[in-house]
Structure formats: C-alpha cells, structure tokens
Chains A and B, each alone.
Chain A
C-alpha cells in the first residue's frame, strides 16, 4: 500500500499532506474550544506535546501498538486538559488565554528537564508509523465527530455559552461542566494529533511546542473562520502549505508569512470562510436545485 502510494505521490508531498492532516486534527480540537465554546486558549501546543511524548514513549520503549499508544496519548492530553481546565476555566477572556499560555510554557520547560523525554536533546528513534492513509482516516473520523458534536445538544450548549455565558447559565446550562468537557475533547484531539506528529517526524524536541506553535494552530482556526469546520480545514491547509510554497524565497519565507498573516487579517477580518458551515452549504445547494427545478 505504502509502496503504491509512494509511486503515486512524491514522499515530500506525502509528508506535507500528512502535516496538513495532523494539524487539521489539532485545529478541530481548538475550534471546539475557542470557536464553538468561545474559550480563548494559547496553550494548545502543550497538549500536542503531551500526546506526542506519551505516544512516542509508549511505542518506542514499551512496544505498545501504534493505535493504542495514539489513543493513550490522546487520553493523557485530555486528562491534563481536564486537570488544568477545572481551576483555570473559571477565568474569562484574555486571562484564560494568559493562564493557558503559562501552562504551555511550564510543560515545555518540564519536558526540557525530564529524563524520560530525552531533555533538551529531544527524543529520537521513534518508529515511523504515521502514513497518509491512517492520518486521512483519523481526519475523517475527527471531522465526523466534531460535526456530530456541533449539531448535538452538547454543541448547542457550547454555542450558548459562547454567545452569553450568564444567559446560558440562567437557562439551566451548567456552563462550567460543558466548558471542561469541551476542553477535554479539544485536548484529546490535540493529543492524537501529537501522536501522529511524533510518529511522522520520528524525533521530538520540546522547543517545537512553544507558544508559537499554539499560535500557529490558533491562526489556522481564526484565519479559516472561528467556529466553522470547513473554515478550520481550509485555514489549516492554506497556512500549512504557505511556508512550503514560500520555500523558493528562502530566508525571507517567514518574513513573508508574517506579512501574509497581517494582510489576511486586515482584508479578511472574519476569516476565509467565517460563518460558513457544511449544513448551510448543503441546504443552499438544495435550495438552488429546488429553485432550478421549479
């Protein structure tokens, strides 16, 4: 299978496509927390790294099968997400963002100092287990799960909290519980994404998961359009591919990337697909078809 794939798609492109898929999983998690539930977090990369290190150590040192270690990595990230969320989600707005930013940096420093993670040198020789196929399967699963969640009682509660927490509480929604649940699920997705990341690169370094990585994922979500699942997918794809397309400008690459970020925010303030969702798109197409047939 992988040989066939290699003959169809160049390994470099495979790598880039895998990265897009991996980031989509993480961004969907963040979209649930920030886009749907309205809770600002600047520490998403920390959960990515928790999942990545857990999964990598399990497969590398304990020979746990890839799928199991992936799930365990996700659960570990979710556990930390809930443990952090219980005290921290009392904070609102920027203060929540700041606290999660602090948590992200603490995790990074801890991983730099722990023995089991290989410290500042990093964790190497992680078996290569991610491939385009299993990443794609998980992206589809994640999208399906988030779409189902969004349109469920749970998703509607999250949206109510996003729009007005106090009003939602007055309506009998236990805001704290829903916020923690959303945070846990979002962190679970980040953990899964981290597991794939570790088994793609085969090397982990704590400095890859600094706050800039958290912002990168936040950029995906905001550029795509907060709260929009197709937006998240498009935003992630565009922003992950941008640095690859910009390789020809070499050292100016990140400069142009920064500029791009500013320009997109100025000229497309609601994101590329702000307010667009699958259902409405489908409905519109149906309406169009109906209008044509009548």
Chain B
C-alpha cells in the first residue's frame, strides 16, 4: 500500500518536475517568473490531442509533435513579448507574462470551448502486477519518459557548448555576455527547452487523466512553480527534487484524508520551506550586499 502510494506520487511528481524545469531554467538566467509557462504546458497537451485525433500519430510522434510545436511557441513568445522588455523593470516583465498567459488561455477557450476534452486513446492501458503492487502501464511510461527527458536535459546542460553557455549566463548574465556569449541565443534556447519539457508534461498528464482543458495550466503551472521554489529556484536538480517531493506530499496528503485540501498542501509546504530555508532546499543563500 505504501509502495503503491509512492508510485502514484512519483508519477504525479515527475510531471510536476517536467514543468518545474522550465520555470527554474528561465528564472536561473533572467530572474523571471514566467507565468505563461503553465499555459505552454496546456497548449502542448492540446497539440497532442490534435496530433492523435487528426493525424492518428502514435505516442512517440505525438510527443515529438507537441514538443516541437511548443518550442516554436515558446521561442516566439520570448522574441515578441519578453525580449523588448529585457532592460525594463522586472515587475513589468512579470505582468507581461501574465498578459501572455491570459491571451493563451482565452485563445484556447475561443478555439475549443471551456469544457475539458478527453485525450484520444494513444497508449494501451494495461494493469501491471508485481506481487501485491498494482500500477498502470501509463504510469510506467510517464516515469520512463520523464526520466529520459531529464537525463537528456542534464546531458545538454553538462556536456554541450550551449549548456555551458547557459550555466555561464545563470552565473552572471553580464559577464557572460562580455565573454562573447550570445545572450539572446542562450535565452531563446532556454525557452525552447523549457517549453519542450512542458509540452511533454502536458501530453503525459493529458493521457494520464484523460482530460485536457484550457485552464489546466493554471493549477498545474502554479504547483510546478512551487516545486521549482521548493528545490531552490534556478537549480535544475532542485526542480526535479521539488517536483517529486510535491507529488509525494500531495498523494500522501490525500491518503491521510486531506483530499478537499489537496490544492492547499503544495502551498502550505511552500510557505514552511520558505520560512525555514528561504531559497529552497538546494538553493544558495542570498547575499545581502551593502
């Protein structure tokens, strides 16, 4: 029973982690909380639905289509809405992301209506049994795909040139640009990767809960954001850890009988962690400069 809950928690947590990575990478480089990120996740899920319903693609093609489309979307948003504000006060940039978020949500509502749509069957759902443990094949796929994507991300960040540039930019934005790093390219690439991961998360969640709606990005986005903060925003392993912790906390909270307060669990955890460790579990302490 306990192991069962852990699997459920990890499945949920893995999807939070996928979305959280986008928040954390963008924050790491330009210190921006991108509130439109949850909506990119939502659009990704809808593109997944369209890919299956219109073109009868298989699971991996669906995932790839959604990710690719959201890469284009994420980069476009960054170019059109965020880049002109690079030197503006940060609060303005924040409000711009909210504007984009409202835009994307209503765009999808106008297009598809506010009601949730089902995700057309793309994966066979088989119940797997190991001893007394029961879990669905979909859960297994979610975990495997999430882990694969996160390993891929680690590889890009650790071993490629653009990953090195990303790390440099997150260390010190101005110095990095003085060292000849094309900062616009780095930021664009960061948005691209973040959006791709969010889209993957959207498709996986859509399949898992068999429901996709224009407002799914709001709560999921907020929770993923909480996950990013829990782990220490700007920190990639932190986001993964935060996502998994949050998933587990939620599943155990519900199992303990707090199901009506499910959505508050994440935020209570958030406030507690912020008060104890203001920069998150793996975050570096902020220096107060005189």
The smallest beta-carbon distance between B262 and chain A, in angstroms, is: 8
B96 touches A265 (CB 8 A): yes
Most buried by A among B35, B229, B264: B264
A113 touches B260 (CB 8 A): yes
B264 touches A259 (CB 8 A): no
A258 touches B100 (CB 8 A): yes
Chain B at the A interface: mostly helix, strand, loop or mixed? helix
Kindly state whether residue A218 has any CB partner on chain B within 8 Å: yes
* Tally of A-B Cβ pairs under 8 angstroms: 127
| Chain B interface residue count, Cβ-Cβ cutoff 8 angstroms | 47
| The one of A95, A102, A218, A255 that contacts B279, using a Cβ cutoff of 8 Å | A95
The smallest beta-carbon distance between B62 and chain A, in angstroms, is: 27
Q: A166-B290, A257-B102 are in contact. Are A215 and B95 (CB under 8 A)?
A: yes
Kindly state whether residue A40 has any CB partner on chain B within 8 Å: yes
- Residues of B40-84 at the interface with A, using a CB-CB cut-off of 8 Å, are 81, 84
Kindly state whether residue B31 has any CB partner on chain A within 8 Å: yes
A255 touches B226 (CB 8 A): no
The smallest beta-carbon distance between A212 and chain B, in angstroms, is: 8
Chain A at the B interface: mostly helix, strand, loop or mixed? helix
A166 touches B288 (CB 8 A): yes
A91 touches B264 (CB 8 A): no
Q: A258-B101, A260-B99, A265-B88 are in contact. Are A105 and B222 (CB under 8 A)?
A: yes
Kindly state whether residue A172 has any CB partner on chain B within 8 Å: no
- Residues of B86-117 at the interface with A, using a CB-CB cut-off of 8 Å, are 88-89, 91-93, 95-96, 98-107, 109-110
- Report the bound CA distance from A210 to B266 in whole Å: 15
Contacts of A212 in B (CB 8 A): 102, 218
The smallest beta-carbon distance between B200 and chain A, in angstroms, is: 25
Kindly state whether residue A152 has any CB partner on chain B within 8 Å: no
Closest 5 CB pairs of A and B: A261-B99, A258-B103, A258-B102, A102-B267, A109-B264
B interface residue numbers (CB < 8 A to A): 31, 33, 35, 81, 84-85, 88-89, 91-93, 95-96, 98-107, 109-110, 218, 222, 225-226, 229, 233, 260-261, 263-264, 266-268, 270-271, 274-275, 278-279, 286, 288, 290
Can you pick out 16 interface pairs between chain A and chain B where the beta carbons lie within 8 Å of each other? A94-B31, A94-B233, A98-B225, A99-B271, A105-B267, A210-B218, A219-B95, A226-B91, A255-B107, A255-B110, A261-B99, A262-B81, A265-B92, A266-B81, A266-B96, A269-B92
